[in-house]
Every structure is written in structure tokens, then in C-alpha cells.
Amino acid sequence: MKTAFIGLGVMGYPMAGHLKKGGHDVVVYNRNPAKAKQWKDEYGGDTAPTPAEAASKVDIVFCCVGRDSDLRQVTLGENGAFGAMKKGGLFVDHTTASASIARELDAEAQKRGFDFIDAPVSGGQAGAVNGKLGIMCGGSEAAFARAEPVMAVYTKVAKRLGPAGSGQLTKMANQICIAGIVQGMAEAFSLARAAGLDVEAVVEVISKGAAQSWQMDNRYKTMNANEYNHGFAVEWMRKDLAIGLDEGRKQEVSLPMTAMVDQFYAEVENLGGKRWDTSSLFVRQETARKGNKG
């Protein structure tokens, strides 16, 4: 399959690599050309100077950028991919963005004669590197059927949830769950420490019962060691939670826990943790606990 990948961040870089290692022809575009050259040197394939050039000769374009504004720029902006897409082509967007832009781009793609899928991912950098991502998709059944076997090279599970926007809505639910779980762990570990318990021993027991989660399995050791220079950055989680909170307002759904944890993440940023892993809620929790003790 002839493919393009737009956006070579911590997720896109290894995902594009899996496509190439999986036997597909891959041309990449990145805002920083040096990163695109680095990818080419590592995996082969080719680079393009613009999103349009990347999209012009391929069957499927994959994309993973930062925000709605970045996505709009690489699709509809000057030298954007949508202006060069083949009739009957497919654009698969792995960006975590709003449901509204997914619907907007789907409508625009239909006007231009190609398909669009919003396909945000979960699993973090480790999932991207190991090819074990969960992918939540919105779009037509036919478009998903075309995309799924190609995405399989970096996928643990991929599922179509409904029409355009459904993938992004599902990702919002995913991030809300993560925020609540991490805050729960931060509070639990803080209580354990304050009471003189060994956090490692506590987790050994509770992780074998109903409290078990991916976050507990993969983050409790680094949380207990106050190590946060890894994983999914706080600033990106705040971006995702803001999208979810905005959707909650549109749907008239109260999201009090999400709003509270978002503010806790703002406190983490004020502590210097903008780029820390999201598990750094424990820093904020411990700072507050020790402050309360005077």
C-alpha cells in the first residue's frame, strides 16, 4: 500500500516506522524537516516538503499532530493534504482533537471525493513503539474496513464506534477515566505514606483485586520514586481534558471530577510539571499533604 504519514512526534514517528517495517511504501512529512530526515535515515522510505506533496501520490494518508489548529493547517491550510488527495483516497487522523473538527473534515473530504476517519489512539509512547495501540474510530464502515488492516501493524485493538466524530468522543471518555484513576492512585498512595505503610507492599496486595488498572501496573513504581520524566505530558492531558469539558457543556453533561482534576493538573504545571507524566498528580497530592502538616 502506498501511504503517507504527517506528523512525526513521539507517537507518529514509531507509528510511521511500523508502517514501513510492515511492508508499506511510506512518505513522511514533518514540520521540522530534520526530524523527517532522521526518520528516513532510520527506516528508509521518503520525505516530502509539504503535506500536499506527501498526500499527492498515495492511497492512504495518516496524520498525528497536536491540536485542532495544527490539524486544520496540515489538511486545509496552504499546501494542505486535502488539496492533493486522490479521488477515492483515505485520510486517517490519529490526532486527539475535537469531535467538531472531525465532522468538519469528514464533510470536506466527502465534497472532494475521498474518505475520512477520525482515529485517536490510546497506549502512550510505549504503545506506539511496541505496536500495541488501542484505536477508536469514527467514519463509514467501508472506510474503516480499508484502514483497519493497514493500521494493524501498530494496533492492539481497533474498533469503529460510529460516524465521524465518534472516535474523538470515545477518546474523551478514555482520558476522563485515566484522569480519575490517576487521581485516585495519588490520594491512595498519599494516605498510605501518611499512615506509615509501605506503598510497594500496599500495591502488591490491592493490584491483585478490584483496584487493579493499567495505570497502577505501569506507574506506581515511578510515582513512588517521584520519577516523571517519561510518558504522556501534563500539558497534553490538559488539552485533552479541555476538549472533553467543552463537549460536556455542549451535551449538557456534568463532569465535576474532570474539572477538578484539570485544576489539579494546573497546579502541577505551576510546580514546574508541564512536561511531567500525568502520574505527577502525586506530586501535587504530597505537596498539599505536607503543606497541611505545616
Q: Is 57 a catalytic residue?
A: no
**Start-to-end C-alpha separation, the chain:** 63
- In this structure, are residues 34 and 24 in contact, taking their beta carbons and an 8 Å threshold? no
C-alpha 179/C-alpha 256 separation (Å) is: 12
Number of alpha carbons in the 13 Å side-chain half-sphere of residue 126: 9
Single-letter code of the amino acid located at 11: M
C-alpha 138/C-alpha 131 separation (Å) is: 21
Task: Single out the catalytic residue among 37, 57, 86, 171.
Answer: 171
Instruction: State the SS3 of 66-123.
Output: CCHHHHHHHHHCCCCHHHCCCCCCEEEECCCCCHHHHHHHHHHHHHHCCEEEECCEEC
Going by the DSSP 8-state scheme, the letter that residue 231 receives in this structure is S
Residue 161 CB partners (closer than 8 Å, separation 6+): 136, 137, 138, 167, 169, 170
Burial class, 274, CB count within 10 angstroms (exposed 0-12 / middle 13-18 / buried 19+): middle
Single-letter code of the amino acid located at 40: K
Q: What residues act catalytically?
A: 171
